[in-house]
Each structure stands twice: as structure tokens, then as C-alpha cells.
Amino acid sequence: MAVKRFSFLLIALVVLCAAVAPARAQSQTTPEYVILVGGPSLMRWEKYKGSNAHDFWWANFVRAGRIRTEQLRERHGPDAKITWLVYKRGYVERAAQEKKDLIGFIDSVRDKFNLNLVYFDKGSEVIDYLNNGQPRDRVKIAFFEFFGHSNKACFMFDYSNGLDSASKSWLHESELTKIRRSNFTRNANIRSWGCHTGESMSKKWHAAVGNRMWGAVGKTQYMTHELPVLSSPNGKWVN
């Protein structure tokens, strides 16, 4: 009788382990590292603004994204899933001014760093990628950073590109509730390197998405060989 009882318990344990193993396998997810890159201003709008002009160098945001990508590759290896979302029209318009193939240059960054490069035109496309660009039951966003123009309430992808000192392509803080919280890992690193984001949008992001987003109080300055820095006298990073 004792032998039969032991055999029954052993069989039950094997069945339980077989049931738990697939559940554990399904719970394992792949991290994705997402970099959102806005477009540069055009000099036909900026050349009269003196010290207030933006983007004398067309690659401000692309360069910052590349610096961050190099860091991610060094930290997470050559096979880590890194995605760039790039506002394409901004670089098409600036290419005519530069007389260079800027899209070809961005494509070469993709090839060098083995990126998933996605071009977009509207903020709704950014939301759609975050929600549906990957099977989010298996691929969770562990890292999301924005390089581009912004004010306290939105990312402005085409600031001073199509219109002087204005934008027609953006992601506004009122739209953040459309992003699913379940897209992100619990401890995802979220940051905006644009100006003023920490004055309002960071709070709205936290309320809507759940993760905290680091943002600047005041202005930021994009650099050539390092990530952007605070440029306002009383500027600070907040989340």
C-alpha cells in the first residue's frame, strides 16, 4: 500500500511540474530598448534668431541617439533588441538644405548597430508602435528615451521644420493614456532629453503609463560627444 501511495504522489508531482514549466516559459519576456528621435529645425526659420536659434547641426538628435545606442550595445550585447523611432519628414526636409542624403546616413547607423529602424510621421504612429509594434506579451519595453524638441506638455517632432517656431507633429501629454501600461517592464527606464519635459509631461506620463519619466526643468543643450546637458541656470532633472 505504501508503495502504491508513493507512486501516486510521484506521478502527481511530475504532472504538476509539467504544468508549471510551460507557464514559467510563457512568463519570460525579451526586453526592448526604444529610442525616439525627433526632427531638426530648418535654417530658413532659425537663421534670424541669433543665440536663440536651434539645430545649426542637423544631427543633434541622431548623434545623441547614437551615443546612447553605443552605451546600450556595450551594456547589453550585440543581440539586444534596440529600436529607433525616427521622424522621417524632418530629415527629408533638412536634407534639401544640407544637400546630403540624411536618410541614407540614418540607415547606415541602423546597419552598423543592428537596429530595428522605424520611420514615422505622426505621434499616433509612435503610440501604435509602443502598443503593437512587437508582440507585447513576449517583448516588453525596458527602456524608452526621447531626443528632440519638446515643451512642458509635448514632444514636438517637427518644431521649426514645417512652420516657424511651431509644430504639426507631436505627442501631447493628453494622449499618453492611449499607451498601454502593460507594454513596459515594471522597472523600465524612461527619460526625455528635450527641454521642459519635467515641468508637466513627466507627471502626466507617470499617471497615465505607470513608470516614472525623467525630464528637465528648464532647457537642455545637445552636445557633440556626450548626452545632452542642462542649460538653464536653475535647471534640474526630475521624475
The label of the residue with cell 530658413 reads: 44
The label of the residue with cell 500500500 reads: 1
The DSSP call for residue 159 is: T
Which pLDDT score is estimated for 44? 87
User: Is the per-residue pLDDT at 139 higher than 70?
Assistant: yes
What pairing do the DSSP bridges indicate for beta strands 30-37 and 213-217?
Answer: unpaired
Indicate the residue type of 209: V
Which pLDDT score is estimated for 43? 86
Residue 45's pLDDT band, with cuts at 50, 70 and 90, is confident
State which H helix or E strand residue 34 sits in: strand 30-37
> Cα–Cα distance between 69 and 113 in angstroms, integer?
8
User: Is the per-residue pLDDT at 17 higher than 70?
Assistant: no
CB atoms < 10 A from the CB of 135, how many? 9
User: Is the per-residue pLDDT at 25 higher than 60?
Assistant: no
User: Is the per-residue pLDDT at 21 higher than 90?
Assistant: no
Rg (CA), the chain: 22
Indicate the average pLDDT of the chain.
90
> Do the beta carbons of residue 139 and residue 183 sit within 8 Å?
no
Structural domains of the chain, with CATH:
28-238 (3.40.50)
User: Is the per-residue pLDDT at 27 higher than 90?
Assistant: no
> Cα–Cα distance between 164 and 90 in angstroms, integer?
13
Mean of pLDDT values over 138-147:
98
User: Is the per-residue pLDDT at 203 higher than 80?
Assistant: yes
